[in-house]
Amino acid sequence: MLKTQVTEEMKQEMLKHGGFTQDKIAEHYDELSSHYEEIYLTAGYHDPLKCAELCKEIIGDNAPNAQVFDMGCGTGLVGQYLKERGFLHVVGVDASAGMIEKARTKESYEELHELFLGRPDTFPKEFHNRFDAITAAGILAEGHLDNNVFDEMLVALKDKGYAIFATRTMYLEQYSYGQKIKELEEQGKWQKVKEITFDRYDQLEEAVGRFSKVEIKGYIYQKI
Higher-confidence residue of 191 and 205: namely 191
Q: What span, in angstroms and rounded, lies between the C-alpha atoms of 44 and 201?
A: 4
**Alpha carbon separation from 141 to 104, 109, 146 (Å, rounded):** 24, 24, 9
Q: How confident is the model at residue 145 (pLDDT cuts 50, 70, 90)?
A: confident
Structural domains of the chain, with CATH:
24-223 (3.40.50.150)
> For 126-151, what is the mean pLDDT?
91
Which residues, 6+ apart, have CB-to-CB distance to 130 below 8 Å? 67, 69, 156, 158
Q: pLDDT tens, 18-42?
A: 554 555 545 545 555 457 777 788 8
Structure confidence at residue 1 (pLDDT)? 47
Structure confidence at residue 108 (pLDDT)? 98
**End-to-end CA gap in the chain:** 41
CB of 156 closer than 8 Å to CB of 134: yes
Backbone angles phi, psi at 84, to 5 degrees: -65, -20
pLDDT at 124 over 70: yes
Q: How confident is the model at residue 144 (pLDDT cuts 50, 70, 90)?
A: low
Q: pLDDT tens, 45-91?
A: 999 999 999 999 999 999 999 999 999 999 999 999 999 999 999 99
Q: What span, in angstroms and rounded, lies between the C-alpha atoms of 87 and 110?
A: 10
For residue 198, count CB atoms less than 10 angstroms from its CB and return exposed for 0-12, middle for 13-18, buried for 19 or more: middle
> For 178-207, what is the mean pLDDT?
94
Radius of gyration (C-alpha) of the chain in whole angstroms? 17
What is the length of the chain? Answer: 224
Per the DSSP assignment, residues forming a β-bridge with 67 are 89
